[in-house]
Structures are given as structure tokens and as C-alpha cells.
Amino acid sequence: MSYNYLFKIVVVGDHSCGKSCILLRFAENSFRHDHISTLGVDFKLKTIKLGRDKIRLELWDTAGMERYRTIYNSYYHSAHGVMCVYDLTDERSFENLQNYWLREIRNHAPSNAVLMLVGNKADLEDQRKVDFDRAEQLASRLGVSLYEVSHLLL
């Protein structure tokens, strides 16, 4: 399929915050209960239509486990955007977003890459640990977009 624009989006965040499930839902509109953790990096393609233009998205799904983190530097190269995912039911994933992932993005992604924060597992409201107002304050301070999603309902 031909396209007018190509954008590379790197998806980062802690292990088990739902990065792969979000991408699977977005790219293929499916969900797997038996999902296996990403080892290294996975890749999805999605072509969307915006007005008369066809836009191809290269979605780079990174493993959140610490042992893979050192290989990411090369994946940030030439990224047009970075999606920083955290788990709304896991306080530590939000803290790591602030203390680790944002620093990595600043150090390795192009300065003009668009950043967005995505809180996942919004369907688990009764287990929420990360308050929306707190995440919104961080997004506002960074000047970036914030979304809360559920990979089950995306």
C-alpha cells in the first residue's frame, strides 16, 4: 500500500505496563489473553488515512525489562515520536517514567520528536494507583499530551 508520509514511533515503558497490548489493539484491533512478553524489540505497521493523505506508522515496541534497556539507544534514532506508557495500577511504573524513561528520551531521541504519555489499564479504575491530576501535571509541565486508555477497549 502506498503512503504519503512515514512516521517512526517508539513505544517505551516498564515491563508489563501493556505496551504490546496497546499496539496490538491499535494496529490489528485484536487482543490476546495469552500474550508473551516482548523480548528485545517488536514492530507493527499501521496505515491511517487523514484527509487525502495516507500515513504509515512504524510502531517500535520495546521490551520493558531492564536487561534490554541498553539496546534502545539505536531505536530512538530518527524517531518522530515516543509514546511513554505507564500502568495506572502500578505506582512504580509512573515513577520510572519520570526517573528513567524521560531521561532516556531526552538523551537519545531527536530533540524534535513528539512525546506523549499514555496511562494504560483505565478499565481497572478500582485498582488505580496513579491519579489523573498527577499525570496531567506532569504532562503539562513537559508540554506533552496525556491519554488514558484500556488495551481491552481501545
Half-sphere exposure of 77 (CA within 13 A, CB side): 5
Residue 146 pLDDT grade (very low, low, confident, very high; cuts 50, 70, 90): very high
| 117 and 146 Cβ atoms separated by less than 8 Å | yes
Least confident interval from 37-41, 45-49, 115-119 = 37-41
Q: Quickly list DSSP for 119-143.
A: EE-TT-GGG--S-HHHHHHHHHHHT
Q: pLDDT per residue over 42-55, tens digit each?
A: 789 999 999 999 99
- Global pTM? 0.86
CATH topology of domain 5-149: Rossmann fold (3.40.50)
- At 39 the pLDDT is 47
Q: pLDDT per residue over 64-94, tens digit each?
A: 555 445 555 677 889 999 999 999 999 999 9
Q: Alpha carbon 80 to chain centroid distance?
A: 13
- Taking residue 65's Cβ as centre, other Cβ atoms within 10 Å add up to 14
Residue 15 pLDDT grade (very low, low, confident, very high; cuts 50, 70, 90): confident
Q: In angstroms, what CA-CA distances link 44 with 5, 23, 133, 149?
A: 16, 7, 31, 19
